[in-house]
Amino acid sequence: MPPRLRVFYSLLITVLLLIPAIALTGEFSRRADIWWTPLPLALSLADSKERVEIYVGGKPLAALVEHGQVAITDAAGSHVLTAKEIGLRFNNRDRIRAQRLPLLLLYAAACGGGAVLLLLLATGGMAYKGEHEAVAG
């Protein structure tokens, strides 16, 4: 392969290799705290039953709050908590990463394939050897 074409294809493969590499780098360098439910969207105890149960002293928190057995003490004094005052935030990182896993695997495969192509091209493994004449038999 002429050196001019080898340089051209090397640059082309390098640029194409950067696309999934940047996507993978961006995915793995994200902050870990962005996956939490925003505080204004925190779920109430009733809405979060399918995802979490909280026990205090061996009893469900929802039942304790319902019976008025949970109180909070602050500078103004103490008062019994109601269900409306309790909000739950969830870390959804595992769910989001599970959804993105096929795309990340595709990016990783593209990076691997591009690296192999670049290595073959750089070492002359894809060099054109010319046509061979057919062997008469």
pLDDT in tens, 59-92: 999 899 988 888 988 888 888 988 888 888 888 8
Q: Which residue has the tokens 């990076």?
A: 111
Q: Does 25 reside within a domain?
A: yes
> Of all residues in the chain, what percent carry a pLDDT higher than 90?
4
Residue 131 has pLDDT above 60, yes or no: no
107 in the same domain as 80: no
Torsions phi, psi for 43 (to 5 deg): -85, 150
What is d(CA 28, CA 37) in angstroms, rounded to the nearest whole number? 20
Q: Does 136 reside within a domain?
A: no
Name residues whose C-beta falls within 8 Å of residue 50's C-beta, 6 or more positions apart in sequence: none
What is d(CA 20, CA 111) in angstroms, rounded to the nearest whole number? 6
Q: How many CA atoms lie within 13 A of 114 on its CB side?
A: 19
Cβ–Cβ < 8 Å for 49, 63: no
44 in the same domain as 18: no
Residue 113 has pLDDT above 60, yes or no: yes
43 in the same domain as 73: yes
> Of all residues in the chain, what percent carry a pLDDT higher than 70?
90
Q: Does 28 reside within a domain?
A: yes
Torsions phi, psi for 38 (to 5 deg): -60, 145
What is d(CA 50, CA 48) in angstroms, rounded to the nearest whole number? 6
**Single-letter amino acid code for the residue at 110:** A
Total structural domains within the chain:
2
75 in the same domain as 58: yes
Could you tell me the residue range of the domain that residue 119 belongs to?
A: 1-32+101-130
What is d(CA 91, CA 31) in angstroms, rounded to the nearest whole number? 13
Average pLDDT over residues 96-118: 87
Q: Does 95 reside within a domain?
A: no
pTM over 0.75: no
Q: Does 45 reside within a domain?
A: yes
Q: Does 56 reside within a domain?
A: yes
